Amino acid sequence: MAVQTGCCSAAAAVLLLLAVAAAGTSVAGATYVRYKDPKQPIQARVADLLGRMTVAEKIGQMTQIERSNASSAVIEKYFVGSVLSGGGSVPSEKASAATWQEMITKMQKAALSTRLGIPIIYGADAVHGNNNAYNATIFPHNVGLGATRDPNLVKQIGRATALEARATGIPYTFAPCVAVCRDPRWGGCYESFSEDTKLVQQMTAAVIPGLQGDVSTTHPRGIPFVGGPKHVAGCAKHFVGDGGTRHGISANNTVLSFHDLMRIHMPPYYDAVIKGVASIMISYSSWNGVKMHENKYLITQILKERMHFRGFVITDWQAVDKLTTAPHKHYYHSIQETIHAGIDMVMVPFDYPEFVADLTAQVMRGSIKMDRINDAVTRILRVKFSMGLFENPFPDKTLTGQLGAKAHRELAREAVRKSLVLLKNGKGRKDGKPVLPLSKKAKKILVVGTHAHDLGLQCGGWTKSWQGQSGNGITGQGTTILEAIKSAVDKKTVIDYTEHPDKGSVSKNEDEYDYAVVVVGEHPYAATAGDNLNLTIPGPGPEVIRKVCELVKCVVVLVSGRPLVVEPYLDTMDALVAAWLPGTEGHGVADVLFGDHGFSGKLPRTWVRSVDQLPMNYGDKLYDPLFPFGFGLTTKPTDRS
């Protein structure tokens, strides 16, 4: 009996050791938690952590709330997995990088104080630089980057954007937009690199490694990759067909065969998945009448299963509410539809108590299966471990100087230069030569137009706020086109500037002006508010063009997020430059106008004569644009003094 007792005691001791080890505690009392061990494979860490989580903790990971709600108490109570800044949502007016970091650190401490200590992932729309942050470098919007035809430049911009986001403590950006915009009437068209799928693919394959870091050739396809604490998790958006809606109306219906959807709009997502993109955001739009946020076939069967995407899928802002024509009606059912479709994280962003309660109730009742919840949380945790958030949850104070860094501004200036597309360079009325490049030693010049001296208009939407705004104080640093012209020309050159010129005054002095630079264009907008069915140059642009260009040799610089109808004024202009939405570095415009660098940009999209031709895209059988896709006159650098 003693021997048997001893054997039983030994067996019991072994079982006890196994039980203790499984609980994460050694006999000596030192704790070992597998998911906290960075030497363990990510898959093992995810499985270990998932096995420890309650339903409440899992649903918390699937919940993304807006910064303004994210008190420590809320984060702790709801086990919040993610926080975001909506467009224009900042810690304080003109908040410094340090202030951003302090805010995110406080939130992170709250998350880490919970039972399992799962860090939050903080996201923001850094779509042309860290555009919510004061003093950030604002790069040209994607339509301008498409005009550069320079993937290496775009990769560098992704890298700089990642550093400026990290400077403010933000490790996750809702970028890039990989839409293939097929109709410029869409207000989000400037977020698209091009109407051409192949060009969008090239830029997608460049910008994601810029943001997230380079994946190795042996990296498993579809597994998210973020190359350390100086990179950020990216988000390819908006899946799928957002750029193909009827009449270019935001969140409208994309009517296409499956073949054409896969041929035109899906390829950039293949590139994003191959490059290890961390997340993919779903579009508000529908495909053949089915809203994308409830399209299980495309989200689960195509994206997750066929394309092997292993990151997480996130909704757009309040997208669950918008599944119904009357927003938030049948919210309970809308939650079920989106989660069943394959959504992993919901950008709530305000009604989180209701969202959590409704999702919890459906899980408890079995109407949403635990397997679906576990899949969602597994994907979210996989990204967090891939980012190194468990090892480095807090912002890096040494990176604050990266916000608006000089090197990034020089990079943005280069991007502006390469993005400008010269559409017309007709012979001047007096000297018989092309107008561009302009002389720096002119005696007297005229600069006019609403967009000549306004950084807000120069940057466009998604700058400081969602829709953008006018004014020179909104971005902090930056150079307007007027300021850049003043810096470029000879000190003896007299510059007359006015937003709204008086024709009589121009006529009186027309013989004194060597030339005029007319800078007009669109006012800032984002999708929906920016949908435009006529695409005319907004007033007073046409009037300014006529007043000045009928009297003085003129260069028109058009600041816009898309091609506008210019044919009625084209004969009046001596030269026309498409400047897109260049951002804060106006020096890049002057660099090319005055010949320090040549024009090299090519149209990333077709420039139609009138909206009656839309939709018209490169490759269409009927194709008679004003300027075709890929058009762009070139000039050589010159010392035209």
Percentages of the chain per state (helix, strand, coil), in multiples of 5? 40, 15, 45
Cα distance between residue 281 and residue 279, in whole Å = 7
pTM: 0.94
Q: Strand 172-173's sheet: what is its strand order? A: 172-173, 121-124, 82-85, 63-66, 346-347
Helices 151-167 and 197-212 sit at what angle, rounded to 10 degrees? Answer: 40
Lowest-pLDDT choice from 8-22, 137-151, 249-263: 8-22
Mean pLDDT for the chain? 94
Does position 23 have pLDDT exceeding 80, yes or no? no
Does position 12 have pLDDT exceeding 90, yes or no? no
What pLDDT, on the 0 to 100 scale, is given for residue 19? 41
Token pair in block for residue 481 = 């086109």
- H or E stretch covering 190: none
Q: Express each pLDDT in 519-572 by its tens digit.
A: 999 999 999 999 999 999 999 999 999 999 999 999 999 999 999 999 999 999
Mapped onto helix, strand or coil, the DSSP state of residue 235 is strand
Distances (CA, A) of 504 to 507, 508, 512, 546, 559: 5, 6, 14, 13, 26
Residues in the chain: 641
Token pair in block for residue 86 = 């909506």
Q: What angle do CA 110, 84, 121 make, to 5 degrees?
A: 55
More confident residue, 638 or 499: 499
Cα distance between residue 524 and residue 467, in whole Å = 6
What pLDDT, on the 0 to 100 scale, is given for residue 402? 98
Q: In a 10 Å sphere around its CB, with 0-12 CB exposed, 13-18 middle and 19+ buried, how is residue 325 labelled?
A: exposed
Q: In a 10 Å sphere around its CB, with 0-12 CB exposed, 13-18 middle and 19+ buried, how is residue 360 labelled?
A: middle
Mean pLDDT of 273-279: 98
- Going by pLDDT thresholds of 50, 70 and 90, the confidence category of residue 10 is very low
What pLDDT, on the 0 to 100 scale, is given for residue 433? 79
Q: Provide the percentage of residues in the chain whose pLDDT is more than 70.
A: 94
Residue 597: closest CA among 434, 478, 422, 477: 422
3-state secondary structure 109-142: HHHHCCCCCCCCEEEECCCCCCCCCCCCCCCCCH
